[in-house]
Chain A
C-alpha cells in the first residue's frame, strides 16, 4: 500500500514563474491538506481539500491555489513566484474530513525560486 506520494521531488523556478505540485493521497484517504515548510521552521497550513472543494485556508495569498480531482489526488499551484516561496511543500492525507488521528505526510517537494 503506497503512502502519500508527491511529485516532483525537487524543482527550480525563477521569480515570476508559475509552478504546479502534485499529490496522491494514501489509499482510502479522501482529504488532502497542503503545507509550506520553510527551512528550519514548522509546516504552515496552506489549505485543505475535501470533495473537490477548498474547505479551509491558512494565511496564504491568492497566488496559492489548488485543486482536487475525483480520484482524490490534488494539485497546488503557485503563481508569480517570489524568492520567499522557496520551501518544502508537504501534502498530507487523512481518511475523512475530521479524522485527525490519521494525517499522513508525503516526503514533500522542495521548491527553489531563483
Chain B
C-alpha cells in the first residue's frame, strides 16, 4: 500500500549545500502534507507541513514546494548543517488524519 513514494533513499550533501527530497502521492483525498524528521532512537518530529491550496511554504531554512497537478511535493533544506543529519519522512493525510508515510530519506551532511 505504497501511497506515498519518496526519493532518494539516501542523500549526502556538504555543509552549506542544499538538500532536496522528493515525494509523490496517489490519493487525491490527501489534503495535508507534512515532513517529519527522525533521529535514531526517537519518534518522528514534525518539521514543516503544507496544504494543497498553496504552492510553497517556507520556515527558516526549510521550504516545501507543492505541485497539486503533478501530485508531487518536495522538501528543500537550505544551508544544510551537520545537525540536520537525520532521516526525513514525507507524509500525506486525509481529513480523518489517516496518515501515510514515505519510506524515508537518510540525509548525511558532511562538515
| Interface-central residue, A43, A101, A104, A108, by most chain B CB under 10 Å | A43
Interface digits, A44-59 against B, CB 8 Å rule (1 contact, 0 not)?
1100100000011011
User: Does A103 lie at the interface of the complex (its beta carbon under 8 Å from any beta carbon of B)?
Assistant: yes
When the two chains form the complex, which single residue of A42, A56, A102 contacts B103, counting CB atoms closer than 8 Å?
A42
**Cα–Cα, bound, A94→B4 (Å):** 22
Interface digits, A88-103 against B, CB 8 Å rule (1 contact, 0 not)?
0010101001111111
User: Does B93 lie at the interface of the complex (its beta carbon under 8 Å from any beta carbon of A)?
Assistant: yes
Once A105-B44, A106-B43, A108-B43 are accepted as A-B contacts, the answer to whether A56 and B101 lie under 8 Å apart by CB is no
Q: Are B89 and A42 in contact (CB under 8 A)?
A: yes
Residues of A within 8 A of B45 (CB): 105
Residues of B within 8 A of A94 (CB): 97
Q: Are B43 and A97 in contact (CB under 8 A)?
A: no
User: Does B111 lie at the interface of the complex (its beta carbon under 8 Å from any beta carbon of A)?
Assistant: no
When the two chains form the complex, which single residue of A35, A90, A103 contacts B97, counting CB atoms closer than 8 Å?
A103
Once A90-B44, A105-B43, A107-B43 are accepted as A-B contacts, the answer to whether A43 and B101 lie under 8 Å apart by CB is yes
Residues of A within 8 A of B41 (CB): 107
Residues of A within 8 A of B32 (CB): 100-101
Chain B positions near chain A (C-beta within 8 angstroms)? 1, 4, 6, 32, 34, 36, 41-46, 49, 89, 91, 93, 95-104
Residue pairs across A and B with Cβ atoms less than 8 A apart, 15 shown, are A40-B103, A40-B104, A42-B102, A43-B101, A45-B101, A48-B96, A48-B98, A56-B97, A101-B32, A103-B34, A105-B43, A105-B44, A105-B45, A106-B43, A108-B42
Given pairs A44-B1, A100-B95, A104-B46, 17 additional interface contacts (CB within 8 A): A33-B97, A35-B101, A41-B103, A42-B6, A42-B91, A42-B101, A45-B98, A48-B96, A56-B96, A56-B97, A56-B98, A94-B97, A99-B97, A100-B34, A100-B99, A101-B49, A107-B41
